[in-house]
Amino acid sequence: MPDTGMKLSAILRGVVPLDCHPETPEPVITGLAYDSRRVQAGDLFFAVPGFKADGREFVAEAEKAGAAAIVTESPGAGVGIPQCRVENIRLVMALAAANFYRRPSSGMTLIGVTGTNGKTTTTYMIDAILRSIGSPTGVIGGVQYRIGDRMLPATRTTPEAIDLQKMLAEMAAVDTEVAILEVSSHGIELSRVAMLDFDIAVFTNLTHDHLDLHSDMESYFHTKRRLFVGSLEFAQHEAVPGMRPLAVVNIDDEYGQRLADDLEDVITYGLTPEADISAGTIKQEDWGSTFTLATPEGLAPVRLRLPGMYNIMNALAAAGTAYSVGLKAAGIAGGLSSFRGVPGRFELVTDQPFRVIIDYAHNEDGLTQALTAARHLTAGRLITVFGCPGERDQEKRPGMGEIAGRLSDLAILTTDDCYAEPPDQILDATQEGLEKSGAEFQRLPDRRSAIDSALNAARPGDTVFIAGKGHETTQMTAAGAIPFSDRQVAMELLAQR
C-alpha cells in the first residue's frame, strides 16, 4: 500500500475521463473512499449512485471532510477541489483501487467461487484442504473475512472494489499465497471484482434468486459467465484472450453444463460419469457421509462431517479446485475429512432433547436441499421456521412457502430481513404457497415468537430447522438493523424451558 500517497493521474492510469476540472494543480491522493462518512483528509472520493443513496448528493460533505479530489458521473456545482467526470464510475473505482493498491491479486493465487448456493461452504472447504497442507490462505466471503490470523465480520458477500483491493493488499503484506473469494452476481454486475487477476473460477450451480437485480435467469447466467470468460473489466460481455481463469464447473447443473461446453480450460465435477472429479459408493450417515473421491489421477476415501447430498457436491467443487492446483486425491480427501463446517450453514445448535439446526437457506433450491437433508436425519417431526426477505425477488416467495409446507410436518412462517417493505405484504405472498401445499402451518410475524412456538411444539426425535438468517446477528427492519441471532435466541428459549 502507498506510504506517501499517489498522484491522481497515477491512480486513474488507464482511465479516459470525459473531463477533469481544474486540470492543475494535480493533487496527491493518500486514500480512497466511496462513503462520505468515512472520508479522511487526502482521500479521492467516488460519488457512486447507489440503490438507496446517491453519492453525488454528498460531494460537498466529502470536500468538507478533507477529500482531495472527486470522481463522479455528473459533477455538482460549487465544489472547490478537482473533479473528474467518467462514464462508468464503478468500473473506474475498481481500476483506481487496483492501481492504488498495486494490483495485489497478481502476486497470489486468486480463487473465485460463484453460483447461487454453496459458495460459502465450498470456499471454506477449499480453505480447509489448502491449510491442511500448510498453505497460507486468506478468505473473503459472506460469513467473515480472514486476513492472516485476523478475523473481520463480513459486511457483504463480495465487498466493494476499494475494500476488496485493500484486503488483498493486507493479505499480500502477510505473505498470503492463496486468496479464496466468494463472488456474488452483485459483485460481478457492480464491478466489485473487476481488475482482479483470478487464477481459478468455480461454478457451483444456478437456481432462481436475485431476479430483482437480473431481469431473468438468462441474464443471471450471463452475469455469472463473465467471471469465466475474461470480461469482468469491460461493459460488453465479450471474451478477452489471455485473461480467462482455469474453470472448475458443476456439470450436473444445466447452466454448469452450458458453461463447460463454452470453455476450453475446464475441470468438471459432478455425479455424472463424464465428470473429471466425482464421488462413488456414497453412504449418508446420521450427521455426515462417506464416499470415494475419484480424480483423473486416483481414488481416495472421504468421510465428510456434514449431511446432505448438496454438501457432497460442495466437497467435489472444493476437490476439483484443489486438484487444479496440483493436489493428489489422498491429500484432498484428508483435508475434506478434517472439515468441521461453517457457522450458520446447517449448524447443529443442540441435539437435546431434540435437534435444533440453523441454516442460511433463503431461496427455493437452498431450502429444498437443506430440508431434504434435515428430513433424512429426523426420526420424528420436522418443524421449520422460515421467512422471505423484503424488497427483492418477490417471485420466489410463494415457491418457498410451498417448499416449506411440502417438506415439513409443521411450517412456521415469520419475518426475515424485511427492510422497508411492509412485513404483512411479504408474509401474504409467502402464505399463498403454504396454503397451496396443504400443510399445517402457523403465521407468527415476530421471529422470536416463531422460534419459541417451534421449540414448544418439538418432542424428542423431532428437528427444529430455523432457516434464512444462519450466522447473521441482526435483522433488517424499516427502522434499521436490530440485534437478532437465531442461534442465541434458540439457546435462550431452551434455557428457559
Q: Tell me the CATH number at 416.
A: 3.90.190.20
**Any domain includes 96:** no
Q: State which of 52, 68, 90 marks the end of a domain.
A: 90
**Structural domain total, the chain:** 3
Distance between CA atoms of 219 and 213, rounded to whole angstroms? Answer: 9
Same-domain status, 188 and 71? no
pTM of the prediction?
0.92
Q: What DSSP character marks residue 232?
A: T
Same-domain status, 20 and 162? no
**Any domain includes 97:** no
Give me the helix-helix angle, 309-324 and 329-337, nearest 10°.
140
Q: What is the CATH number of the domain that holds 48?
A: 3.40.1390.10
Domain with 407 in it = 347-496
Which residues are 109's β-sheet partners?
178
**Any domain includes 342:** no
Which of 253, 259, 254 is CA-nearest to residue 245?
259
Please state, in angstroms and as integers, the Cα–Cα distance from residue 166 to each residue in 29, 268, 308, 438, 448, following that order: 15, 32, 36, 51, 38
Cβ neighbours, 10 Å, residue 240: 12
Same-domain status, 425 and 291? no
Q: Which three cell numbers stand for residue 396?
A: 420466489
Tell me if 178 sits within 8 A of 138, measured CB to CB. Answer: yes
Q: State which of 314, 337, 360 marks the end of a domain.
A: 337
Query: How do 83-85 and 150-153 pair as beta strands?
Result: unpaired
Q: State which of 90, 113, 146 marks the end of a domain.
A: 90
Per-residue confidence (pLDDT) for residue 260, from 0 to 100: 97
Tell me if 70 sits within 8 A of 39, measured CB to CB. Answer: no
Per-residue confidence (pLDDT) for residue 17, from 0 to 100: 86
Per-residue confidence (pLDDT) for residue 234, from 0 to 100: 44
Burial grade of 421 (CB within 10 A; 0-12, 13-18, 19 or more): middle
Print pLDDT tens along the chain (497 aa). 565 789 999 999 998 888 888 766 789 999 999 999 999 999 999 999 876 777 778 898 999 999 999 999 987 656 789 999 999 999 999 999 999 999 999 999 999 999 999 999 999 999 999 999 999 999 999 899 999 999 999 888 899 999 999 999 999 999 999 999 999 999 999 999 999 999 999 999 998 765 556 568 999 999 999 999 876 664 333 334 446 899 999 999 999 999 999 998 899 999 999 999 999 999 998 899 999 999 999 999 999 999 999 999 999 999 999 999 999 999 999 999 999 999 999 999 999 899 999 999 989 999 999 999 999 999 999 999 999 999 887 889 999 999 999 999 999 999 999 999 999 999 999 999 999 999 999 999 999 999 999 999 999 999 999 999 999 999 999 999 999 999 999 999 999 98
Three-state DSSP state, 225: helix
Per-residue confidence (pLDDT) for residue 237, from 0 to 100: 34
Three-state DSSP state, 354: coil
Same-domain status, 360 and 464? yes
Same-domain status, 177 and 152? yes
Please state, in angstroms and as integers, the Cα–Cα distance from residue 362 to each residue in 4, 208, 210, 439, 468, following that order: 45, 11, 11, 20, 5
